[in-house]
Amino acid sequence: MSMFQRPRGTRDFSPSEMGKRRQVESQFRLVCERFGFKEIATPTFENLALFTTKSGPSVIDETYAFKDKGGRDIALRPEFTPSVVRMYINEMQKVPKPIKIFCFGNCFRYDEPQKGRYREFYQFNAEIIGGDEVSADAEIITLAVGILEDVTLRNFELRIGYINILRELTKGLPNQQRILQAIDKKDFDKMRELLKADGAPALETKIMELASIRGDDSAIEKAKAIVGDGKDFEYIEAFVKRLKSYGMKDYVLDFGLVRGLDYYTGMVFEIDYPGLGAEKQICGGGSYKLIELFGGEKIFSTGFAMGFDRIVLVLEDQRRQFPEGKVRAYVIPMDDSLREASIEVATSLRKSGIITDMDLSTRTPSKALKYANSINAEYAILLKPELYRENKVTMRNLESGAQEDVTISSLSGILKK
């Protein structure tokens, strides 16, 4: 493979792609801030052990891990949650609760690349640490949906489950985690095999029945009928009620929902956009117990991560318009003797905050104008010898062709309007 080829599963982003991505990203940030979340950042690489403790085999197999020059086992982050938990334990345990934080950045998973699946991808991640459990779970889902609504992403599907019920059912089984993984992958043959190996084949029917329950709030009674009432259902009922207070109505309860990561303990949720095909999951999250496991105090935590790249794909698919940042003023000397002067004009426009560009080559004025048109600049600022002597320039609207002569001192004021 040529050294000039990108590694598999990575991408370059052109200016127009970056323009779109930055717009979506800044909308994400604004919604988080509206909900009272604050941004943090963590390192791109961490000690490998941070990710191998509780993320589960699906992530561990996919981790970009290597030894650094000091012989330490290092990994590129496959997700943010363990880093956020580490940072919380190291530096934020004394901060008043609840702590509501978000972060955005690249993550790395060694997986087979395909549409919507990359080896370097971007996550937008939010977590709540502390606070009332029911409220925090309801608020985190409301934030996820709020972000999608804000970027006008339509036709997504929100499924909500409660992993502890399946955990309780399979409690004590040596292969519990693998059984849950099999349920997550809907690989029921594998599940049957593992249940048999663990001496619990009778559980199969119960799990299959439970895992097939999907629907509106009436699903709660159906699930109760299978596994019996208990405090999990008390929680689910309170949580569903709280979701309604947040105005959330469009969700499906899914008692077979298991997440790919192993650390979830309570409410879990996923958001799909079916139009994406195999990689349709655009968001996933739920409540988890990593903090205690990493040596922190016992405290509730819940969060989610959005697949940023997939969301951009969906928005493109839905023909969302992304206004491009335009050059407001393109400065052109109509005579070579005015090149220095045109640099001065451009510099002063830039200093007053106007998006300004100018010819860096020695194009003829007509070629420079053509270029200005081709980049959709709004105005051409033409410097002509006779006008320049009077401290004036010609301002041409490149869309309408209308032009007028204005003094250089008034130019930035006019262009700011």
Name the site residues for ligand HAM (rule: CB under 6 A). Answer: 79-81, 109, 111, 116-118, 121, 123, 125, 127, 260-261, 281-285, 288, 303-305, 307, 309-310
Q: Specify whether the CB–CB gap between 177 and 262 falls below 8 A.
A: yes
CB of 289 to ligand HAM, least distance (A): 11
CB of 322 to ligand HAM, least distance (A): 20
CB of 111 to ligand HAM, least distance (A): 5
Nearer to ligand HAM, 116 or 333 (CB): 116
Nearer to ligand HAM, 19 or 260 (CB): 260
Nearer to ligand HAM, 303 or 333 (CB): 303
Q: Which of 305, 319, 213, 306 is nearest to 275 (CA)?
A: 319
Nearer to ligand HAM, 104 or 288 (CB): 288
CA 142, CA 350: separation in Å to the nearest integer? 41
Nearer to ligand HAM, 25 or 79 (CB): 79
- When CB distances to ligand HAM are compared, the closest residue is 307
Backbone angles phi, psi at 413, to 5 degrees: -60, -45
How far is residue 252 CA from its own chain's centroid?
22
Backbone angles phi, psi at 288, to 5 degrees: -150, 160
Q: Which of 93, 64, 98 is nearest to 294 (CA)?
A: 93
Q: Which residues pair with 300 in a beta bridge?
A: none
CB of 284 to ligand HAM, least distance (A): 3
Nearer to ligand HAM, 156 or 388 (CB): 156
Q: Which residues pair with 396 in a beta bridge?
A: 380, 403
CB of 126 to ligand HAM, least distance (A): 7
End-to-end alpha carbon distance in the chain: 53
CA 314, CA 305: separation in Å to the nearest integer? 16
Alpha-carbon separation of residue 92 from 34, 129, 232, 298 (angstroms): 22, 10, 30, 14
CB of 81 to ligand HAM, least distance (A): 4
